[in-house]
Amino acid sequence: MKKRILCIGMMVCDTLISPVPADILSLDSVRIDKPTICCGGDALNAAIGLAKLGAQASIIGRIAEDANGRFILNECGRYGIDTSRVAFDRECATAASYALVDEKGERHFLSEKSVFAKLAGSDVSDEAIEGADVVYIGSAMALKKMDEDGIRDVFSRARRFGKTTVMDAAVNREDPERDWLSYLALAFEETDIFFPSMDEAVKITGETKPENIAGCFEKFRMKMFGIKMGDRGCFVTDFCENRYIACPTGIQVVDTTGAGDSFMAGLMCGLTRGMDLFSCAEFASCVAAKNVGAMGGTAGIPDFEKAFDFYQSFHKKM
């Protein structure tokens, strides 16, 4: 029986518009290519990535009964993702992001994401937690009610039910002075695996060296801590052994959107397949490498067999 992963967090409808000239605001009209509408947000990207890798994924987030919300539900249905516990908000719209892509391929975002502040621990029932083997929360530092007590609440219940708890983070630019290490301490106490990006890890700890950053989390009961380091690979520790894992080489980078989310999908897929923690990180790096080779947040993620073949060839070179 497949193990089940519950993804909790951001659900976004993204619209990509290109090409957008740098002086667009001084122009009356510009011809663009056909806009691309796709899914985005950490939890949604991770759930789609998991589904593409053959895992059984469910998702909890907040959307509205609007066109963007219907698009997200239809896409989840296409991938076989369980949306039965998604909450419908009556005050906010479904989170939407408009990516203006310039002639160089750089993206500039216009976003409306007020619904993120409404997601709370109470949106996640005991039944939803009990029905999963892994419980993942994607955006520490970016979901107000979840940061206040929601993460701790959900993860403490998950721990009580014997589930594995996994967390990622997102940089909060609206609250740059907060001491996040102290603020999220109770949530970290209930986290088995935490794998932020380098920018997020520095923001939380104030440290800049991976080993020193990891030292800040040693006091918590984590089984694994890691740092996503972009094209430099990742740093991983189980607090007994530290490892740097390089990125696969020879990959043509087309679009880095969703690279971190695809990494987390690969990591959790590895967990449910019985890989050890370091092998999970290697597999996750391979999934992320495949994903950045295509345009879109999850477009490059292959099925499990292709991802595992790529991982095995990468592993032999390590």
Tokens of 271: 């967990």
**Burial tier of 79 (Cβ tally within 10 Å: 0-12, 13-18, 19+):** middle
288 within 8 A of 259, measured Cβ to Cβ: yes
Q: Which residues of the chain have pLDDT under 50?
A: none
- State how beta strands 36-40 and 12-17 pair: antiparallel
264 within 8 A of 166, measured Cβ to Cβ: yes
Tokens of 126: 């005991």
Partner residues linked to 16 by β-bridges: 36, 99
Peptide bond between residue 21 and the one before it cis (omega within 30 degrees of 0): no
The radius of gyration computed from the CA coordinates of the chain, to the nearest angstrom, equals 19
**Res 240: pLDDT:** 96
- CB burial readout 103-120, b (16+ within 10 A) else e: eeeebeeeeebebbebbb
CA gap 253, 152 in Å, rounded? 37
Q: What does the pLDDT look like over 42-101, one tens digit per residue?
A: 999 999 999 999 999 999 999 999 999 999 999 999 999 999 999 999 999 999 999 898
Dihedral over alpha carbons 181, 159, 225, 133 (to 10 degrees): -140
**Res 317: pLDDT:** 65
CA gap 143, 91 in Å, rounded? 17
> Where in the chain does DSSP place strands (E)?
4-8, 12-17, 36-40, 56-60, 62-63, 87-88, 95-101, 107-112, 134-140, 164-169, 193-194, 224-228, 234-237, 242-245
Tokens of 129: 């937690």
**Res 99: pLDDT:** 87
What residue type is 129 in one-letter code? I
Give the 3-state secondary structure of residue 142: coil
Residue owning tokens 């987390």: 264
Helices and strands, number each (H, E), in the chain: 12, 14
Q: What does the pLDDT look like over 122-131, one tens digit per residue?
A: 999 999 999 9
Give the 3-state secondary structure of residue 135: strand
**Res 281: pLDDT:** 96
Residue owning tokens 């020879």: 250
